[in-house]
Structure 1
Amino acid sequence: MAETVQSKRPNFSAINLGGNGINAGASQAASKSGSAKKLVIKNLRERPKLPENYQEVTWSKLKEAVLAIQQSRSITYSLEELYQAVENMCNHKMAAQLYANLKALTEAHVKQQVLGFLGDELADRDLFLRAMNECWQNHCRQMIMVRSIFLYLDRTYVLQSPAVLSIWDMGLDTFRTHVITDELVQNRTVTGLLSLIGCERAGEAVDRILLKSLLRMLCDLQIYQAAFEDRFLQATDRLYAAEGQRLLHERDVPQYLAHVDRRLQEEHERLLYYLDASTRRMLIYSVEKQLISEHLVTLLQKGLDQLLEQGRHQELRLLYSLVSRVKNGLVELGTGMSTYVKKRGRTIVVDEEKDRAMVQELLEFKDHMDNIMVQCFQNNDKFMQLLRDAFENFINQRQNKPAEMIAKYIDTKLRSGNKEATEEELERLMDKIMVLFRFIHGKDVFEAFYKKDLAKRLLLGKSASVDAEKSMLSKLKQECGAGFTSKLEGMFKDMELSKDIMLTFKQHLANQRKPPSLDLNVNILTMGYWPTYPPVEAHLPPDMFTLQKTFNEFYLSKHSGRKLQWQPSLGHCLLRGNFKCGYKELHVSLYQALVLLLFNDSTELTLEEVQASTKIEKDELRRTVQSLACGKARVIQKVPRGKDINPGDKFVFNREFTHQLYRIKINQIQLKETMEEQKDTEERVFQDRQYQIDAAIVRIMKMRKSLSHSLLISELYHQLKSQFQVKPTDLKKRIESLIDRDYMERDKDSPNTYNYVA
């Protein structure tokens, strides 16, 4: 029977030195001797001696238990008994030898294990990896049980010896030294792990639990980075470099993007399931570099334009997400997007055949790109600025034309008969148009055409909504300032004043003895506010002429010093016609009314006779009679029949005319804007620009008195950039003109300096 020896410690009881008797006696003794005496207590019990062979016997018992654990056999002794044996040896200063014996026993066992991994029976990758994992798991379990027995050693001797590893760390170090650092074993282990991961990347199902366990082993042994991670990242680089090159040629961009996204998700799953977290940054960087960064330019050149053109939001969202991961990815994507917008927009603006549809296509294109910005590019501020710059770039590729077409587009939407369903929709459309308006440089060109169209809408009563007109005016004022809209506001003011004047005039007519049989309505236009209309001649019937003369006298009596210039080309009339089917009211232009009134006295007239009676200009007369004889409502008939009006044609009043409506509007055939009219409008804009440049130069020189040429040009650019784009040659011409007119002069000592002439 094994004998258990326990160390016997002295059992000291607390001695109470209190009590009056003892204290008093001690005091008396002290007083007699003159000094205090110390009370000394001695342990008279002897320490028991250990048997001579105690260390050998106890270690043999512990060794037997450790070997039983290593060989997966049952332990003869109880754990409590073994733990007590360790404690006794530590208390009798045998801890160092006990630790050395345990370490040697562990090393011997581990060395024996490594031999099993070098045989041919484990040549198969999976068998080898499973054997390695089993060996590691067994080793960990064994060390846990051993540590539980030698726990007292771990908590006393090991803690008191900084240079000594804990039992668990000693087990790890032993396994690392004698198993995994073996060149052949380590190479087969890492190669097998890389092979398994490669198979999984190729789509095969692998044992992830085995991978996780072995990679955790490498981490615990602190050789994960040195033995595995470097080779793993190199293999990753090789795999995805080859894959990127191959798939970029085999697949289109959407398929390639989907593949890259799937690869990134797979690598994230590997990190989640079995790879160490320290590998995350380099692994993801490797995938992004080989599949995205290396092919970024090719990827964008190959597919970005197509994705943007087709509005493939899902693919664009994925593209944005992927390129945002890599350095300069968003910069390249933004540049590619900007290039596409400029190229696509230029095809809309430059094509003269699509001028009529230009603005509508621009609005649709802007909506298209705005949706992409919101849904795909996360409203990226830099992308939004690139989009604005791109629109401003291409929309001004064709000087002045976009400004003109925007003005005409607004005219079609604000004119009566437009198809916009509600005022809210019209308001939203105007807001979108204002976005395009901000991009154009020639805002004075826009103003010229907008003013001309607005005048027609106001004078001919063709405006769909006064509220919409004023809303548009307020938007322009907010965008460009009060100076830009002052003349346009003056036009509305003239229309309001004209209504008041007509009320007064009608009261004036009512007070006359014989009121006229005609009803006259006149709009008084301030020449500086309205477009310039060339004076034209038209012979009015006596009744019209008399009423016109009466108004002329009435107005001049109220406003002395003013002059009225009548514009018959802007007039319109309401006539009552007597046809075989009955009376009809005809809403016609003044020119159409003059032609129709001739048939009150004649049943047949030639073109030349009509012109002699009305004095209407030839081309205008042709369009007028064509609208009456060749249109849908043919109140006169042309002989011979045909669509064109030629000299010698005769016209007959059509008494057989019928129409389902009582009031019929007969539109005047409008000439398409001729090149001469176009050039005339542009010439007026050019003249206005010259006046503005001259005024800016004089204003600057009056303030500065003396200024160099370069500084003057810089100041002019700063002041005029918000109104229109100027060229240095134009500015130089205006400076020379002002010098010739003695507004300024060149400095005698410095020819590049100008002086203001007061």
Structure 2
Amino acid sequence: MTQQIPLPSTNDLEATWKFLEDGIDQIYNRLEEGLTHARFMNLYTVVYNYCTSSRIQTGQYSTDLQNHQAQRGASLMGSDLYNRLIKYLEDHLAAIRLESEQYMDESLLHYYTKQWKKFTVASSYVHHVFSYLNRHWVKREIEEGRKNDVFEVYTLALVSWKRHMFKYVHHNVNEAVLKLIERQRNGEYIETSLIKSIVESFVSLGLDDNDASKLSLDVYKNWFEAPFVEATEVYYKTESEKFISENSIPDYMKKAENRLAEEEARVQMYLHPTTHQPLISKCETVLVRNHAEVIWEEFQNLLNYDKQEDLHRMYSLLARIPDGLNPLRSRFELHVKKAGLSAIEKIAEQEGETVEPKTYVDALLEVHRKYNELVQTAFSGEAGFVASLDKACREFVNRNKVCKTSTSKSPELLARFCDSLLKKSAKNPEENELEDVLNGTMTVFKYVEDKDVFQKFYSKMLAKRLVNGSSASDDAEASMISKLKEACGYEYTSKLQRMFTDMSLSKELNDNFKERMQQGHDPSDLNDFNILVLSAGSWPLTAPTTAFNIPEDVVKTYDRFQKFYQSKHSGRKLNWLFQLSKAELKATCFKASKTGYTLQVSAYQMGILLQYNNGDTYTFEELRDVTNLALEAIIPALSILVKAKILLLSNGTKVGDSGSKYSLNTDFKSKKIKINLNMQMKTEQKVESDETHKTIEEDRKLLMQAAIVRIMKTRKAMKHVTLMDEVITQLQSRFKPRIPDIKKCIDILLEKEYIERVEGQKDMFSYVA
């Protein structure tokens, strides 16, 4: 049987402490021998008995009084045991400290962590032994504020470690930890759990001065983190300067990237999370910011050789420091601008003044595609680089060699490219590819400054496609208009959409007319007739510049439709646009074909060719008189017929010469049954383009004047400079107004008395109500 050790007298301090000290000593020095439950309960009981030794046991007092006396006793008797425990801990830690002096470096860390773990586990046991003291005497002392240096027993143990152990060894411990970390940075394997334990002990010792139950990181921050970050700075400063002087910038960036990743991992592995910010910030300064200039200088080389991986690494590193990316963005913008200008210059040199729209747009898109891909991959789609790309593209799209005479050239060529895509052709892309190509055109459109120019040319070309029935696909047409509407708003595309409405109304009108004709006329007396009735305000179509005598073969149908339309819409006037009309003539006069050829001609060519039903040869003057066409209309029409060898021109003369004769070529041969003669000549295209530009200029004047009046009506009075800025802001989504043009519009409005100068103030205008 185990011998029972008698418990000391309840109020005998010396006997009580001797009994407790033996137990506490076992816990701190021989805990591995085992602490039985009975032994633990005896230690707890001794503390309890001593703290409550003055409680009144007689039955004379009420329960409340007994409780009061018990509390008072605890208050009086607890301080003796508490002070003895302080002295024990001091002596115990002094012995540990003395033993630690024989250790250095890694062996010191092993010793320190072993003793720390042993001490904190033992202190936890002792804390429970003194739990009655904690609940009463310690609590009362803290609440009443009579003691500034009183803690619960476990906290007292930590405070004692801090005062009697940590205070003397932390310098050596810290040095040993820093040496260990440096060895790890040099590529050696180390025991990271050692450092983790040291860090945890430093954190645990951070006791809040105002509230011992709370932890503060002051000990960790001041005694470990600060010297650690300082040592890190010294290490990487030396290493980076040496490495960058002996290696290329791309190699240095790889090194810096790896080092930053290592430090990120180090925080996860064994440092407190709060160290992340100061550590990584210091590493970024030393490894990146201090070498930013030489890294920036390498950027152009990487761009030139399209080193995407290195560019991404450079971006990732410089994004870590304030304003690190600004020089890259500006250099990237300049590089893209040069690339765009160079691409257009190359095709301008190859093709001269008549640059093909497809070649031009493809060149623009190729530059954008290449550098947009670079922005997305190397620069992670960062907003600053996207903005730089946009600025560069806007420059080379609107101000390149092809646009040297006018910034309107880009939108015109883009509109022509769209026309070629949407017009029936053997070269049209497949339906699934067409949508991608249209998206590409919208990319260029986004950068075009003169969107009104694109609108004007696009609407003219759409009108021609609809009038001539040459659209490749109604779905593609609708898709393109939808994209333009999304980019510029409803107003930009409202007229385009109304054109489609007119087309469907015209189809209905034609069906009604044909039905009416079939009811009241002999079918042999009717031509296959189709007409488009279009609202003048929605279509960019101009009245013909020449008179035209309608051939007798179609004049009946013409008159019948006029009457039919007036019966449905009295008061409306039809303006016939013969320059846009076309016809198909069945020609059986040519010897080479028994069945005859079908000639697709313009209305003017029809007027000329129908004369050959009555004769074989006509002079220029005869043809002009019978058709009543002006020179600028009849000469192009005849030129195409002569060039196609439908008509033969008399020897020694040119088309349009006085007295020149035109004979029907009955020996005409062609492999095709249908022959298209309704083609526009290049001179006509140029005239049409020039007229469109003139219309654009007139429209712009009206838009600027409207904007000025609108602004002045709202603001009542404005300074000249402010008014100019406001006009530019309001109109820049459609085109970029030029300062001289705005000034001219202001002068016009002054003359018209929409606005006036404010008396005594030279640069101030006011609105005239």
Report the 3-state secondary structure (helix = DSSP H, G, I; strand = E; otherwise coil) of the residue aligned with 2:102: helix
- Counterparts of 2:679 and 2:379 in 1: how far apart (Å)? 51
- How far the C-alpha of 1:583 sits from its partner, in A, is 3.5
Is the aligned partner of 1:547 residue 2:533? no
Give the Å deviation of 1:414: 1.4
Q: Which one of the candidate residues 391, 409, 417 is aligned to 2:417?
A: 409
Structure 1 pair 178–638 and aligned structure 2 pair: CA distance change class (3 A): farther
Matches of 1:521 and 1:458 in 2, distance apart? 13
| In structure 2, distance between residues paired with 1:739 and 1:3 | 119
Structure 1 546/170 Cα, relative in aligned 2: closer, same or farther at 3 Å?
A: closer
- 1:395–1:439: 8 Å Cα contact kept in structure 2? yes
Secondary structure in 1 matching 2:600? strand
For 2:323 and 2:573, the matched residues in 1 are separated by 69
SS at match of 2:551: helix
Amino acid at match of 2:477: E
Q: Among residues 174, 179, 197, which one is paired with 1:213 in the alignment?
A: 197
Cα 1:717/1:303, change in 2 over 3 Å: closer
Shift of 1:281: 2.4
The answer on whether the counterparts of 1:588 and 1:668 sit within 8 Å (CA) in structure 2 is no
1:73 to partner: Cα distance: 12
Which of 233, 243, 248 is the aligned partner of 2:229? 233
Rate the CA distance shift 1:619–1:166 in 2: closer, same or farther, 3 A.
same
Partner secondary structure for residue 271 of structure 2: coil
In 2 relative to 1, CA 574–203 (structure 1 residues): closer, same or farther, beyond 3 Å?
farther
Which residue of structure 2 lines up, in the alignment, with residue 457 of structure 1?
465
Once the two structures are superposed, the pairs formed by residues 542-621 of structure 1 within 5 Å of their partners are 545-554=551-560, 567-568=578-579, 571-576=582-587, 578=590, 580=592, 582-583=594-595, 585-590=597-602, 621=638
Structure 2 gap ranges (5+):
54-76, 142-146, 207-218, 349-354
Counterpart of 2:513 (choices 504, 526, 543) is 504
Counterpart amino acid of residue 282 in structure 1: P
Counterpart Cα distance in 2 of 1:134 and 1:3: 37
- CA distance in 1: counterparts of 2:700 and 2:760, whole angstroms: 32
Give, as a single letter, the amino acid of the residue that structure 2 aligns with 1:456.
Answer: K
Cα shift at 1:504: 3.3
Shift of 1:680: 3.2
Number of equivalenced pairs: 689
Contact 2:754 2:768 in 1 (8 A): yes
Query: How far 1:418 moved relative to its partner?
Result: 6.4
State the distance in 2 between where 1:82 and 1:621 align: 123
Which of these residues, 442, 450, 453, is aligned with residue 445 of structure 1?
Answer: 453
Contact between 1:701 and 1:756, CA under 8 Å: does it hold in 2?
A: yes
Quote the offset at 1:411 in angstroms: 0.9
Q: Where does residue 686 of structure 1 map in the other structure? A: 697
Answer whether contact 1:552 1:564 (CA < 8 A) is retained.
no
- How far apart, in 1, do the equivalents of 2:155 and 2:473 lie? 89
Per-residue displacement from partner, 1:515-545 (whole Å, max 9, x unpaired)? Answer: 569655555666663333663689x9xxx82
Q: Residues 20-49 of structure 1, C-alpha deviation per residue, up to 9 Å, x if partnerless?
A: xxxxxxxxxxxxxxxxxxxxxxxxxxx9x9
Distance 2:636 2:609 in 1: 17
Q: 1:665 and 1:130, CA in 2 relative to 1: closer, same or farther beyond 3 A? A: farther
**CA shift in 2, pair 1:506/1:60, >3 Å:** closer
TM-score, normalised to structure 2, is: 0.67
SS at structure 2 position matched to 1:588: strand
Task: Tell me the CA shift for residue 415 of structure 1.
Answer: 0.7
Aligned partners of 1:491 and 1:530 also within 8 Å: no
Q: Structure 1 residues 345, 493: closer, same or farther in 2, change over 3 A?
A: same
Map residues 155-554 of structure 1 onto 2, 5 A cutoff: 156=133, 160=138, 163=149, 181-182=167-168, 186-220=170-204, 223-242=219-238, 259-294=255-290, 299=295, 302-303=298-299, 326-327=321-322, 353=348, 356=357, 357-362=359-364, 395-397=397-399, 399-417=407-425, 426=434, 430=438, 433-434=441-442, 436-437=444-445, 439-470=447-478, 472-473=480-481, 476=484, 484-485=492-493, 487-488=495-496, 491-492=499-500, 495=503, 500=509, 504=513, 515=524, 519=528, 521=530, 523=532, 529-532=539-542, 535=545, 545-554=551-560
Report the structure number with the largest CA radius of gyration.
1
- Offset from partner CA, 1:450-496 (integer Å, 9 cap, x none): 13212321233211134443554465566656655565456556655
In 2: Cα distance, 1:430 partner to 1:708 partner: 44
- The residue identity in structure 2 corresponding to 1:279 is T
- In the aligned structure 1, how far is the partner of 2:680 from the partner of 2:28? 111
Q: Partner amino acid for 1:547? A: D
Which residue in the other structure is 2:114 paired with? Answer: 137
Distance of aligned partners of 1:231 and 1:446 in 2 relative to their CA distance in 1, 3 Å threshold: same
Contact 1:693-1:731 within 8 A present in 2 as well: yes
Measure how far apart 1:207 and its partner are: 1.9
Q: Give the Cα separation in 1 of the matches to 2:34 and 2:412.
A: 105
Q: Bigger CA drift: 710-719 or 80-89?
A: 80-89
Match for 1:546: what amino acid?
E
Shift, 1:695, TM fit: 4.9
Shift of residue 237, structure 1, vs aligned partner: 2.0
The whole-number CA distance in structure 1 between the counterparts of 2:223 and 2:242 is 30
**Bigger shift: 706-715 or 686-695?**
706-715
Q: Report deviation, 1:213.
A: 3.3
Q: Cα distance 1:242–1:339, how it changes in 2: closer, same or farther (>3 A)?
A: farther
Q: Report the aligned-residue RMSD.
A: 6.0
Instruction: Give the direction of change, closer, same or farther, for the CA distance of 1:175–1:300 in structure 2 (3 Å limit).
Output: same
1:129 aligned partner, one-letter code: E
The secondary structure found in structure 2 opposite 1:116 is coil
TM-score (norm 1): 0.68
CA distance in structure 2 between the partners assigned to 1:485 and 1:219 by the alignment: 68
Secondary structure class of the residue paired with 1:282: helix
Separation (CA, whole Å) in 2 of partners of 1:586 and 1:76: 116
The answer to whether the 8 A contact 2:527-2:557 is kept is no
